[in-house]
Structure formats: structure tokens, C-alpha cells
Homo-oligomer: A and B are copies of this chain.
Amino acid sequence: MSTSQSTLLWIILGASVFALVFATWLARWVLARARGTPEMQRISDAIQQGAEAYLARQYKTIGILSIVVAALIGIGYGFFRATTQHDPVSSARTLALYVTGSFLLGAVSSGIAGFMGMWISIRANIRVASAAMTSLNGALQAALRGGAVSGLFTVAMSLLGVGGLFALLDAFPPAGMSTDEWATKIPFLIVGYGFGASFVALFAQLGGGIYTKAADVGADLVGKVEAGIPEDDPRNPAVVADLVGDNVGDCAGRGADLFESTAAENIGAMILGVILYEAFGINGILFPLVIMAVGLVCSIAGVMVVRTREDADPMDALNRGYYVTAALVTVAFFFATRWLLNPADAPDAWWHFLLCGLIGIATSIAFVFITQYYTEYRYRPVLGIAEASQTGPATNIIAGLAVGMESTVMPVIVIAIAIVASYFLGASAGLVNDAGQPLNGGLFGTAVATMGMLGTAGYILAMDVFGPITDNAGGIVEMSRQPESIRDKTDRLDSVGNTTKALTKGYAIGSAALAAFLLFSAYLDEVRNYTGRELHVDLSKPVVFVAALMGAMLVFWFSSLAMTAVRKAASSVITEVRRQFREKPGIMQGTDVPDYGACVDIVTVGALKAMVLPGALVVLFPIVVGLVFKHFGMPGEFLGAEAVAALLMVGTIAGILMAGFLNNGGGAWDNAKKYIETGVYGGKRSDAHKAAVVGDTVGDPFKDTAGPSLHVLVKLLSTITLVLAPLFI
């Protein structure tokens, strides 16, 4: 191990451990806050119980599925696949062990990240509610620091997993291989980690997303629409299930999602670093991890500067924290590129890659603005939906669908510019190999841009989990019938939380889009590594085109299944709530207590049952295409691998667009309703409001089930093909 290598690993692992320690300190800080009135505690305990029971059952299901997949991967690699001279390790069984082991480790880590997100959220919610009884700043800080526990834990775990696996393997090079050569093989051995993480993330996000929206839609349709009681009213038997849903869907799901994003993209970027080994040495491979490590520290600084005056808009405080983080990451990029990406024979390289990093940071800021434009009621799109609500639900729906579709345009243009610009900056960096021949640093340029975007991931995730915590706090305050002044504080925080949730979804899909190219390249690079041949993805071949068509179709199919799952689970909630209202008329008079637990159980069972089919589809579909299509074409043509690449790429394109459509459409409908509730077009209880509620309800599975699950789908397609590429060759 060279000095530089061990220094870098110390930085990476040190920063991860520091972030974990700091997250623990933050968690203790949050837990030390007061827990409010006994009434509040009763509600919070019910949420906690429901969430933990759901997660326990969900993890049991996911655990079984993971073990099955791990066994299949192990058997496929170890017994069925013929080894080739290009394999990173010579023994098939050893390779199987590495891939399967890293898969399981990734799966477990992703599960822990999701669990931590929920663990802190169901404890922070009541403390935020309680803090709101005295000060807005106290509540804001408790909610953000609660979110930061999850954010820091997620990113640090991901870094520790990838960095730790690297360090571990690095310490034991096989006999007869130099440590340097071995270091270039390791990224291919740990691709399983990313797949394990994606696999768990898919089911966590899908199951959680179905849970949260089935409960929400069910509660709204019988509560608000049929019985005419307000949201979060304690008389609604589904209200606790709804609050549980915020935790299992938004915290556990998004935690697993962003865990796998950082893990997959780190591994992908490391693989691209391998190509430039002759230019950068080990520095290029570890650069992505160093940036994530420094980004963690920057995120901590960002979280700690957030404070608000009692009469200010809390969003300003959160934005300030974000800008501090982004500024610090920019500075870190300057030093990191000068230090690590600055070979003597390419004097201009460092600032080329610094600019790539800045492009990434600028892209994430652009996504924040675009998302705000399409989902906030200060701007034309949401105002148009609200206006269309005057002529009824049909025009509201048409307007929302049109806004969702239109909202894909600007992000695509931003991504297009970012990919092309960072590619050309990397390509023109003047890199040369040992013999002085030019090397193409273009793909690495796109990887560095992705790292720029991911550098602030810790802070972004903290803002994201802030959303469900404040949402829950609002629910607890509402259900325990606190006075107007306290409700006002939690309402303000809740509204900020809605914004941050929308922003982080924009950020997540933006980083997925930018990273997509990185992950494709890693796949192609892996295929080259295993076959010794360059692979092009030529859409003009019929088989490749057909696979591309199927990749896009998968996105439509999956979205359909996800939305149907929500609708079916919601209808079982509706049936149950109607039954309770019918059998216990005292509930509506407030003389009888509804059976919250029954609704929680029904949603739990429904969500777990419903998540299996769409999840299995996403996992099996690319495998089947790869295994079938490898039988077409000439030997040595590797048509199977090429077809899978096309499926992956065009599936990703369709996934990014569909996710943008669903996320922004859903967010826009939500805020169009909120805008009407401010009193426009007749305000609450007007016909326009009723029409807007329809749009809001349609938007629920869009923005919280199908959309976020598509983020994971896109990355799962990448990681599954990375792991199984050798089987399609």
C-alpha cells in the first residue's frame, strides 16, 4: 500500500467514523428534548409501535428475498459461469464469494440506513411538537438535527461500506499480484455492494411508498370526503396509519434510496477511476470517496449553522445551511482536485476537473430552482392547475398531467449540458499515460460532476427527513388538540417540510440522471474488462433496439403496478374505516375511540403483499432479457451484453422522465390545492377546492410511491447489470 493510498483511506474512514460519532451526539441531543404532554406521548407511542411493527415485517420479507437472490448469485457465479482469462480473480468460487458477500453486506447496510432514518424520526416527531410549545427555533433545530442523524448515518455508512471493503480487500492481495494491480481489480469485486443496497432500497421504497399513500389516500377519501372531518382528526381510524406511513415511506424508504445512490455512484466512479490509473494512480480511484468524506464534514457544518428568528420564514434558515454546505464543498473541491487530480505531466487537469465538480454543484442548485418553479404556487404551473380547478376535477387532472409532462423539459436540458460539458472538460484535461500517450478523461469528468452533485448529500438528506418529522409533529399537535398558536408554528414547519421533500426528490432524480451515464460507462467498462473487447451500444441492430424498447416499457409497466398497488391497498383501508364508522357510531360523536391498530395492520399486510410483484419484475426483467438475448448474434459479438446495455440506458431515460413527470405533477397538484385553501377561487369547501382535492389524491401515488420508486429502479437497473454482466457474456 502506497503512502498516499493509506492516507486517503484514513481520511475516508476517519471522516465516516467522525460523522457517525457526530450523528450519535446529535441523536442524544434530540432525545434529550422534552416529550410534551401525556396525550402527545400516547399518540407518538402509537405511531412508534405501528412503524416498528411494519418495518420488522417488511425487513423479514426483504431479508428472505435477499437471501434467495444472494444464493442465486452465488450459484450462478460459482457453478454455472465459465471463468475467462479476464476475470479479476482466477477462481470462480472466490469471485462468487466476493460478489455474494458484498451483496449481502450492501443489503444489510442499506437496511440499517433505512432503519436509522425511521428510528430517529419516530422519536424526533414528539420532541419537535413539544419544542413548538415554546419556540420556533427550538422546533426547527430539533427537526433538522433529527433529520441530520439520518442523513449523516446514511452517507457515512455508505462510505464506510465501500471504503471499508476496499481497505479490507486491499490489505490482502492475492499471491503474485502487485498491490497496485490488485487495487485496480477491487472495484469490480465490490459491485455486489451496490446491488445489495439497491435491492433493499427498491423494496423499502416501494413497500414504504405503497404503505404511506394507501393510508393517506384511504384516510382522506373516507375522512375528508365522506365524513367531512379535517385531516389528522383523531376520530379517523386511519389517522395513525397515515402518520406511520410518513415514517416508513419517507424516512425508511428515502434513507435506503439515498444510501444506495451514494454507494452505487461511488463504486461506478471508482471503476471509471481504474481506467485512468495510468494518469492518476490510486488517487483517481479513491477521489470519489474523498469527496464524499469531506462532503460529510461540510454537511455537519451546514446543519449546525441553521437557526431562525421566531418571526422569520424557516425555509430561509434551511436554505442558508444548504448554501453554507455547497460553498464548503466547492472549497473542498478546489483543494481535492489540486492535491489528487494533478499529475505532473498534465498541469491543466486539476482545474478541468474542478470545473466538472462545480458543474455538478450548479446542476444540483438548478434542480432546486426548477423543482420550486413547477411545484410552488408562486409560479405559473401551479397557478394554472388551480385556475383549471374552477371547471371541475377533469380539467384539474388534465392541467396537472400537462404540468408534470412539461416539467421534464428543463431538467433534461440541464442534464444534457452538464453531461456534455463535463465530458468535454474531462476529455480536454490533457491526461497522458506513462508512455506519454493521451488518455480520454471525458467519462471521469462526468463522474466528477456527479460527485459534485453528491457532495452535499448529507445535508440534503437531513432536509428530506426534516419533512416527515415536521409532518408527524403537526399531526401530534393536531390530534392532541393544542392551541392555535402552537399549531401555527408546526404548520409553518410542515409547509417548509413539504417544500424540502419536493426539493430532495428533484435532487435525487437529478443525481440519478447525471450518475446514469457514469453507471453505464462502468457497465461497459466492466464488460470490456471481462471480455477484453470494447462494447458499443448500437441501436441500429434490431435486437439491441428491441431491448431498448423493452427497457422503456418496463418503466411504464412498473409505474402501473405501483399505482395499482396503492389503489388496492387504499380501498381495503376505506372498507375498514367505513366498517368502524358503521359499527361504532360513537366514534364520530367523540364518545368512542377508533381502533387505530386495525387500520395499521391492514395497510401493513396490503403494502407488503403489493410490493413483491413490481419489485420482482424489476429484478427479473433485465436478467431474462440478458439471458435470452445472449443466444442471438455471433459468438464474440456479445449481443446479450449489448442488449442489456440498451435496456439499461433507454430504461434509464424513460425512468428519469417518468419520475420527473410523476414527482412534479404530484407536487404541483398538492400545492394547487393548498393555494385554493388560502382562499382563492372560493377557498376551502368550494367546488374548485373539491376538484383540487381529486388532483391531490391522484398525485399522492405519483409523488410518493411510483416516482421515488423509479429513482431506485433506475439505479437498480445499473447495479443489477453491473453485478450480472459476466452472466450475459
Against B, the Cβ 8 Å flags (1 = close, 0 = not) of A417-456 are 0011001000000000000000000110010000000000
Q: Are B654 and A392 in contact (CB under 8 A)?
A: no
Residues from chain B with Cβ under 8 Å of A561 in the complex: 402, 406
Does A363 have its Cβ within 8 Å of any Cβ on chain B? no
Collect the chain B residues with CB atoms within 8 Å of residue A135's CB: none
Given A398-B701, A549-B653, A650-B650: A391 touches B556 (CB 8 Å cut-off) = no
Give the segment of A138-146, A337-345, A563-571 that binds chain B: A563-571
Residue pair A694, B394 in contact (C-beta under 8 Å): yes
A408 CB contact (under 8 Å) in B412, B553, B570: B553
In the complex, what's the smallest C-beta–C-beta distance from A493 to chain B, in angstroms? 27
State how many angstroms separate the Cβ of A383 from the closest Cβ of chain B: 13
A403 at interface (Cβ–Cβ under 8 A)? yes
A646 lies within 8 A of chain B by Cβ: yes
Name the one of B395, B537, B570 contacting A221, with C-beta atoms under 8 angstroms. B395
Q: How far is the CB of A674 from chain B (nearest CB, A)?
A: 17
Which of B392, B539, B556 is within 8 Å of A405, CB to CB? Answer: B556
A55 at the B interface (CB under 8 A):
no
Give which listed residue, B404, B406, B560, contacts A402 with CB less than 8 A.
Answer: B560
Report yes or no: B553 in contact with A394, Cβ–Cβ below 8 A.
Answer: no
Q: Which of A403, A419, A539 has most chain B Cβ within 10 Å?
A: A539
Q: Across the two chains, which residue of chain B brings its CB closest to A690?
A: B393
Looking at A109-117, A157-165, A516-524, A717-725, the stretch in contact with chain B turns out to be A516-524
B412 contacts A574, C-beta separation under 8 Å:
no
Asked whether A416 is an interface residue with its Cβ less than 8 Å from the other chain, the reply is yes
In the complex, the answer to whether A645 meets B539 with C-beta atoms within 8 Å is yes
Residues of B within 8 A of A388 (CB): 567, 571
CB pair A395–B553 under 8 Å, yes or no, is no
The verdict on A650 contacting B548 (CB below 8 Å), with A401-B563, A402-B564 known, is yes
Return 8 A-B CB contacts under 8 Å, by A number: A217-B394, A393-B393, A393-B694, A398-B564, A420-B546, A520-B545, A552-B654, A654-B657
Beyond the given A221-B394, A397-B397, A413-B550, please list 12 additional residue pairs across the A-B interface where CB-CB is below 8 A.
A393-B694, A401-B563, A401-B698, A406-B564, A412-B553, A520-B539, A539-B650, A549-B656, A552-B653, A552-B657, A556-B661, A650-B650
Please report A residues at the B interface, Cβ cutoff 8 Å.
Answer: 217, 221, 225, 388, 391-395, 397-399, 401-406, 408-409, 412-413, 415-416, 419-420, 423, 442-443, 446, 517, 520-521, 524, 535-540, 542-543, 545-546, 548-550, 552-553, 556-557, 559-561, 563-564, 566-567, 570-571, 574, 632, 645-646, 649-650, 653-654, 656-657, 661, 693-694, 697-698, 701
Q: Which 7 pairs of residues, A with B, have the shortest CB-CB distance?
A: A394-B697, A405-B560, A406-B560, A412-B553, A537-B539, A423-B542, A416-B546
